Chains A and B, each alone.
Chain A
Amino acid sequence: MINTLELLRSLSEADGISGHEEGVRSLIQQAMAPLADDARADALGNLIALKRGAGPEPRRAIMLAAHMDEIGLMVSGLEGAFLRFAPVGGVDLRTLVGQEVTVHGTRKLPGIIASRPPHVLTAEERSQAVPLERLYIDTGLGIDSLQECVRVGDLVTMRRTFTSLNGEYATGKAMDDRAGVVSLVLCLQALKQIQHQWDVYAVATTQEEIGLRGATVSAYGLAPDLGIAVDVGFGRQQGVSDPAIIEMDGGPAVALGPNVHPAMRARMMATAKDQEIKVQTEVVPGATGTDGWALQVAREGIPTLVLSIPLRYMHTTVETICLRDIERTGRILARFIAGLDGAAAAELGLEQGASA
């Protein structure tokens, strides 16, 4: 049995900045391979686990996508005994000050993103965000050792201990979207016990945070009949009121909007009702910003769903998530897949045009 908390811990603490996912990929491969018939990486590093269905060949296929990359930083220059850096993905620079990091030089170097002492700052200075040009990483090394150990282009990950909160929640970095990856593993595990007709591709995608790159190419390569992206959504938190907010511990949110195939969504909602799995609705009027946005327009177009696991403090190092929501997501994915058959294909419009 997969221990959700422990799997999430190992993935959250693993390194995998966009474009450099090999660290976390090997952990995901270890988790998925025993539950699948095949697990391989493609040209852009997407990990593709295939679990074959029981139906007769040629079988239809569904692709599940959850991205394994995380936002992070990259060394852009050395200045004395300090490092300058560039963000990789959507980093709010204001969340970086005083943050602990790991610089991936010739060895792993702990460091701090420098802040200036409040004692020497004016109130005016303290009211401003620190611009990128004035943010530095301090590794505590002298100039000579720094030049020996660190080069421009080296990666910088956040250094954050994964922590369980109150037994039911967990906090750490990169829950976006390692939580989604965990739900895919839980789905594969559930499918060991539940018969399914279709092939299932569980894909841990790369480079989502810089523009859905991994999903774009893996969807092209696999050409699935259906796609579901699992990502995180904006969980309710203090100080934020926005229509995009979903409830923590409310189950995955099934998106509603142009990114989502209406019949597929109806099927998912019916599955939730049948199986008594808690879900909620998230209305997204345009781009979902998830792998689903790329899946939907791959090749000739793919009926797509987007599930969002509620998450607080997205794109910070204290992303907080409810473990039950991850488990619900894994369960409902498996149940949805188990219900896919010829009738479903017809219902979802897959039988039109060329005979499939």
Chain B
Amino acid sequence: MTTIEDLLQQPATVEERKTPILDESSKREIRRACLTAVAVPGYQVPFGSREMPVARGWGSGGLQITLAVVGRDDVVKVYDQGEDGGVNAANLRRLIRSAEPVTTTTDPREADVIQTRHRVPEDVLVDGQILVLQVPVPEPLRGVERDMTELRRMHAEADYAKMWVSLYEDIVRNGIITQTTGYPCLVGGRYVIATTPIPRWDVPPLHQARFLSLFGAGREKRIYAIPPHTDVEPLTFEDVPFQVEEVVEPCRCGLIQPDEEPGAYLVELPGQTGETVWACSDTDWCARRRLEAGLLGEDAIDALEVDL
């Protein structure tokens, strides 16, 4: 199955749908915007963003893309902050399943479409998979320029000087580049994009990826894409290497150790009494690894038994 072909396919027939969220002509319009985005990697394609049953800022852009691109019998994964069982992921998964003839999974390896808020799966995604990223702020240059007309000019002329100056000033003032998530990247050598607020840890997997990434910003009414096999270069200087968030303490189950492969994006869980433990943000990946290692805890079973 090829992802571009998926986008060109006819949608599920109306009879197969359950509780409609989007009408079919709207879905076609969104698929066309996705195709434009694929054709011009990194360019923010304006689209007639519809109002969704979730509020703007809650994944309405990602939801529109997912609803528009899923085909009959596709398998969908939805997760939020790396977690399949979180409230927002559970709600979106329920909505998608109620509206489209799809099944859902927590295992990204089984999924045709993965809708995510702020993480890229730790598993390596392959050809034919689509990663749909929910984007709150699609404009990478907003921090250095507020005027939208000027922003349009800067992108059109690939004039990213202000961005470079701000990165330089950051180093001069703070000694490091302080950008945390949503790190600006040059896509296909042409457009600078905001990598949503995914952590910097998740940026390298986007480079020359085998999968298609579609970024949906519902509130700001834009869609952009990183097609498969496209360069994604974080903006930095020759003598200032791009830094990701690293493992500084072992994961609580001991499977992730500092400076050992494979790493993972860990989140800090501060305890009541000041002690801190670290846990994998990608709960499904973590649970499978623990299962393999015979370290299955109760929370791992929970992660694998998310109500689908």
A binds B: no
Interface residues of A (CB under 8 A from B): none
Interface residues of B (CB under 8 A from A): none
